[in-house]
Amino acid sequence: MDEPPDVPISATSDRTPSSDAVRSRRVGRTLIGVAIGILFLILFGGVATVWILMHPAPTPTIIASFRADYQEGGPGPGWRYLWNATDEIGKTNGYRDLVWNGSKYGFDDNPQFPRPVPGHYVSISRDGGHPGHGKTQRGNFDTYVMVAYTVTNSGFFLMTNSFIMRADGDKVGDINVRVLVNEESLGPEIISRSKTHQPFDRALGTLGPGDTVYVAVGPNGMDRNDRFEMDFALAWISGSR
């Protein structure tokens, strides 16, 4: 019987994969990786979305508003209207309360203006007020008129919805606005010399019961035509304890 012909070794051994097959396997692995990544993002994104929905960002709550809370006869709860009678701004021992005079809060209970210096026209009314004499007139420091509010809860506070305007615009001078927490100035000083509403919103930081926020308006050196209109509100961010 004839012997079967010899088969070349190369005919029975495994073939080396072609370059097309290698590329196909690589593409397949890449697609699988991409699919797994997309699935992970979908799952993670869903979890993140649920977390955001369950933990919404804290929203500010208005707790006090100058014009809305204004009362005749005496300030509302938490409010005081003041002037720095005997010391410069920022030294609370020199502050004195303004007095209701039948039409607004002033130096004393006499509604006739001007009053004795350095108070002069210093006053607070429902829509704004007027500072007193400047340091060039009284010789030592500017006479500010102040609106103050003392907070009763703890948390992060903002000053919002604020504006100041000088009723006579840039006529014979300007006014300046400072915000203080207790005896510390907070944020930039604002100079107003126009009839345009100028905001002075700012973050007040974390405050606690008994902390007092002051909005102080001064004559910026000299009191001339310094009647102003103003409003502001204080907001507390809930959940910020």
CATH code at position 92: 2.60.120
Within-domain flag for 10: no
Within-domain flag for 6: no
Do 52 and 64 have their domain in common?
no
Within-domain flag for 12: no
Do 49 and 107 have their domain in common?
no
Within-domain flag for 1: no
Do 69 and 38 have their domain in common?
no
Could you tell me the residue range of the domain that residue 27 belongs to?
Answer: 17-56
Question: What is the distance between the terminal CA atoms of the chain, rounded to a whole angstrom?
Answer: 101
Closest CA to 134 of 156, 117, 113: 117
| pLDDT tens for each residue of 7-46 | 444 444 445 556 665 566 665 676 666 566 655 555 555 5
- CB-count burial class (<10 Å; 0-12, 13-18, 19+) for 202: middle
Do 33 and 70 have their domain in common?
no
Query: What pLDDT score was predicted for residue 7?
Result: 47
Do 50 and 82 have their domain in common?
no
Query: What pLDDT score was predicted for residue 141?
Result: 94
Closest CA to 173 of 188, 190, 191: 191
Do 111 and 41 have their domain in common?
no
Within-domain flag for 209: yes
Within-domain flag for 205: yes
Average pLDDT, the chain: 86
Query: What pLDDT score was predicted for residue 58?
Result: 74
Do 126 and 214 have their domain in common?
yes
Query: What pLDDT score was predicted for residue 98?
Result: 98
Tally of domains within the chain: 2
Within-domain flag for 7: no
Query: What pLDDT score was predicted for residue 172?
Result: 84
Do 119 and 219 have their domain in common?
yes
Do 128 and 30 have their domain in common?
no
> Coil, strand or helix: which one is 199?
coil
Do 65 and 33 have their domain in common?
no
Within-domain flag for 3: no
The C-alpha atoms of residue 157 and residue 154 are separated, in whole angstroms, by 9
The per-residue pLDDT string of the chain (241 residues; one tens digit each, 9 = 90 and over) reads 455 555 444 444 445 556 665 566 665 676 666 566 655 555 555 555 554 455 566 788 999 999 999 999 999 999 999 999 999 999 999 999 999 999 999 999 999 999 999 999 999 999 999 999 999 998 899 999 999 999 999 999 999 999 999 999 999 889 999 999 999 999 999 999 999 999 999 999 999 999 999 999 999 999 989 999 999 999 999 755 4
Q: In whole angstroms, how far apart are CA 33 and each of 45, 52, 181, 237? A: 18, 28, 57, 44
Query: What pLDDT score was predicted for residue 12?
Result: 44
